[in-house]
Amino acid sequence: MKRVSRAVVRGLAAAGLMTGAVAGAGSAVQAQKSSAASYKIGFANSLIGNGWREEMICSAKVQAMTSKTPTSVIVQETQGNTAQMISQIRNMISQGVNAIIIDPPDATSLNAVIAQAVNKGIKVVVVDQLVTSKLAYQVENDQVAYGRLGMEWLAKQLHGHGSVALLQGIAGASADTDRYTGIKAALKEYPGIKVVASPYTGWQYATGASDMTTLLNSGKKIDGVWTSGIDYTVVDAFKTAGKPYVPVVGADNNGFVQQIINLHSKGFVGGAVTNPSTVGGAGMALALNLLAGKSEPHIQKLVPQVWDYAHNAAQLKSVAFTNRGPTFTVQWQVPGFTTYTKTQFLNTCKG
């Protein structure tokens, strides 16, 4: 099994984003160096209308701008329509792209079209959530750890006893499945924590707000909330309903980070699990490395941390953006992967 280089490990560890890597079976073929005068790289995204995904794609475009070889980016998106996504990827193949970056709808449905692309000599990089194909290179935020660490934090806030709601993502999405695997692992250690509701939000903020409002009006006792990154609107729902705040797990989105900081004095306690959308930029950096003939591990994972006000107030304040929207990512780069500057990122990605 391959391991990520020590240089990358040191760079990510310094930023709290340790990377572990494994090489899948069948990955012995080394990347061949491209002699193209320019690159054309496709980006296939399986979810529309989600701010996190928009920043993911934007970070990939910014990283492409840093390439010494002129690089154009073709973006194709679909709202969870797997057949359409397969068609879009085949269209990219027919356009002669050099590489394709994919945020997939699930772990298996794109394996055949990934094989078609690789057989044409196209580099395929999967980001955000893993697929089972051994042909793709993959870089993801460790989603099992995301679920486990967030639930462990929540259980500790409740001193091991209480009723919690899970606001999940999309049923069948590999990131959602992995996060729930992590949640279950944490709950085994905290048998006093009971899950009383687990709606799927579709990773849409408005849906998350509606689901939380419904739960608050249901009469169910809810002592804490774990969210799959749909967070700030969930917190807002408590205020709108006139209900006292309970501990909430979210992601490192700008709006939620601001709430952890600004509502601390009003009794709100939140835990932001790091899940940088700039994994898209990391995927682009990986694709460009492969096109340049560099050897890379087939799977690389960014290991998350939990930030809360009690332990990370200074860090939270340092990363929060006062001039960006609530869904904007606070982690503007992934050390060891992305090479663009903060100015380049902010000038391009408006949120």
In this predicted model, what pLDDT tens digit does every residue of 113-130 receive, in sequence order? 999 999 999 999 999 999
9 touches 18 (CB < 8 A): yes
- The confidence band for 71, taking pLDDT boundaries of 50, 70 and 90, is very high
Q: Are residues 134 and 197 in the same domain?
A: no
Does residue 349 lie within any of the structural domains? no
Does residue 348 lie within any of the structural domains? no
Tokens of 43: 């980006």
Over residues 178-194, the pLDDT tens digits come to 999 999 999 999 999 99
Mean pLDDT of 192-210: 96
> What is the amino acid identity at position 142?
D
Confidence check: pLDDT of 76 > 50: yes
Q: Are residues 49 and 94 in the same domain?
A: yes
* Three-class secondary structure assignment of 62-87: HHHHCCCCCEEEEEEECCCCHHHHHH
Q: Give residue 261's domain range.
A: 143-273
Confidence check: pLDDT of 93 > 50: yes
pLDDT at 36: 74
Distance CA 332, CA 341 (A): 9
Q: Are residues 79 and 135 in the same domain?
A: yes
Mean pLDDT of 68-84: 96
- The confidence band for 35, taking pLDDT boundaries of 50, 70 and 90, is low
Over residues 36-60, the pLDDT tens digits come to 799 999 999 999 989 899 999 999 9
Phi then psi for residue 225, to 5 deg, are -135, 130
Q: What is the DSSP string of 129-171?
A: S--S-SSSEEEEE-HHHHHHHHHHHHHHHTTT-EEEEEEB--T
> End-to-end distance of the chain based on CA atoms, in angstroms?
39
- The confidence band for 350, taking pLDDT boundaries of 50, 70 and 90, is confident
Q: Are residues 111 and 203 in the same domain?
A: no
Does residue 312 lie within any of the structural domains? no
How many structural domains compose the chain? 2
Q: Name the percent of the chain lying above pLDDT 90.
A: 87
- The confidence band for 7, taking pLDDT boundaries of 50, 70 and 90, is very low
**CA torsion, points 101, 333, 251, 132, in degrees to nearest 10?**
30
Mean of the per-residue pLDDT values for the chain? 90
Sign of CA dihedral 18, 22, 28, 32: negative
- The confidence band for 107, taking pLDDT boundaries of 50, 70 and 90, is very high
pLDDT at 4: 41
Does residue 346 lie within any of the structural domains? no
Q: Are residues 57 and 175 in the same domain?
A: no
Q: Are residues 88 and 131 in the same domain?
A: yes
Confidence check: pLDDT of 25 > 50: no
Q: What is the DSSP string of 270-337?
A: EEEE---TTHHHHHHHHHHHHHTT----SEEEEPP-EEEHHHHHHHHHHH--TTS-TTSBS----TTT
Q: Are residues 118 and 32 in the same domain?
A: yes
Q: Are residues 137 and 163 in the same domain?
A: no
Which of the listed residues 254, 273, 292 is the one where a domain comes to its end?
273
Confidence check: pLDDT of 34 > 60: no
70 contact partners, CB below 8 Å, separation of at least 6: 37, 38, 39
Q: What is the DSSP string of 172-223?
A: T-HHHHHHHHHHHHHHHH-TTEEEEE--B-TT-HHHHHHHHHHHHTTT----
Q: Are residues 23 and 44 in the same domain?
A: yes
Confidence check: pLDDT of 17 > 90: no
Mean pLDDT of 18-24: 43
Q: Are residues 209 and 284 in the same domain?
A: no
Confidence check: pLDDT of 154 > 90: yes
Confidence check: pLDDT of 15 > 60: no
Confidence check: pLDDT of 22 > 80: no
Over residues 289-324, the pLDDT tens digits come to 999 999 999 999 998 999 999 999 999 999 999 999
188 contact partners, CB below 8 Å, separation of at least 6: none
Place of tokens 């959602």: 176
Over residues 225-242, the pLDDT tens digits come to 999 999 999 999 999 999
Confidence check: pLDDT of 8 > 60: no
Q: Are residues 135 and 174 in the same domain?
A: no
Residue 126 forms beta bridges with which residues?
102, 138
Q: Are residues 149 and 138 in the same domain?
A: no
Tokens of 301: 């994972």
238 contact partners, CB below 8 Å, separation of at least 6: 212, 216, 244, 245, 246
Confidence check: pLDDT of 31 > 80: no
Tokens of 144: 């099992």
Does residue 82 lie within any of the structural domains? yes
Confidence check: pLDDT of 244 > 80: yes
Does residue 314 lie within any of the structural domains? no
The CATH code of the domain that includes 223 is: 3.40.50.2300
DSSP 8-state assignment for residue 229: S
